[in-house]
Amino acid sequence: SASKEVSLKAIDVAVEFSGLRALDGVSLTLSPGEIVGLIGPNGSGKTTLINAITGQVPLAGGRVLLGDRQLSGLAPRDIALLGLSRSFQIVRLFNNMTVVENVEAGALAHGHGLREARARAEALLDEFGLGARADDLGGNLSYGDKRRVEIARALAADPSFLMLDEPAAGMNEAETETLLHKLSALPKDRGLGLLIIDHDMGLIMRLCDRLHVLAFGRTIAEGKAADIRNDPAVIEAYLGS
Ligand code: ADP
């Protein structure tokens, strides 16, 4: 994967679905070691921005750079190999594979050998408090556990940048609290940049160094969490939705 020194930059990104602009000129920088929260009302383009960065949807304008390397136009798999990992809003685990196999798959897909992939998977499961579930089938896990396995799988690829789409959705308060502590340590422990979408404002405010706020496919505010929560445009966007 890429050097952990460079930043990931979405520059003036536009995405269209059937002629409708889901994103219209959005620019966002994510640097190693920081946690950025991507927030905004439903339908404002948050998931689409992650999809645009990771190559899941084509750009109608703008570009995505990793350092000075252009990512836009590359296939999702090639972008992943350059060090970008993500989780999905709807969990995508293999239900008929064991938990450890699911996590291992993340490492194998990134060219780690079998033995190393297994060791990485086991270490990550321990780290996420899932060691005891290693041999259970993915499909038999609770919703909260599935979400944690998905994050472990994304980390198995040893990414430089991790993008999480509503990782705390469906988790109870205790699970969310544990996740918060886990996620907050990632950038320092692994030197990665973390971009996180979540509707839990308490989680976002406590976790993130910076926030980026979208409404109707445009950036309406960005900056420190404490400043953003009092921004009139942000309050308006949420109240008006
Ligand atoms: P958010 O994540 O902020 O809730 P999304 O990025 O999911 O918003 O969606 C932004 C807009 O783009 C919405 O109007 C949504 O309906 C539309 N959209 C997202 N994905 C697709 C798609 N694959 N095809 C058509 N429209 C889409």
Q: How confident is the model over 132-176, as pLDDT tens digits?
A: 999 999 999 988 888 899 999 999 989 999 999 999 988 899 999
The three-state DSSP-derived secondary structure of 37-91 is: EEECCCCCCHHHHHHHHCCCCCCCEEEEEECCEECCCCCHHHHHHCCEEECCCCC
Distance 217 CA to ligand 1 centre (A): 9
| 31-49 pLDDT per residue, tens | 999 999 999 999 999 999 9
pLDDT, residue 98, reads: 94
pLDDT, residue 216, reads: 95
CA distance 55 to 64: 9
83 ligand 1 Cβ < 6 A:
no
pLDDT-derived band at 114, boundaries 50, 70, 90: confident
39 ligand 1 Cβ < 6 A:
no
pLDDT, residue 1, reads: 47
Q: Which atom of ligand 1 is nearest to the CA of 40?
A: 3
Mean per-residue pLDDT, 84-92: 81
pLDDT, residue 109, reads: 75
pLDDT-derived band at 3, boundaries 50, 70, 90: low
pTM of the model: 0.93
ipTM for the predicted complex comes to 0.98
Summary mean pLDDT of the chain: 91
Strands 8-17 and 20-30: antiparallel
| 91-107 pLDDT per residue, tens | 778 888 999 999 998 88
199 phi and psi, to 5 degrees? -90, -10
pLDDT-derived band at 4, boundaries 50, 70, 90: low
- Do the beta carbons of residue 153 and residue 105 sit within 8 Å? yes
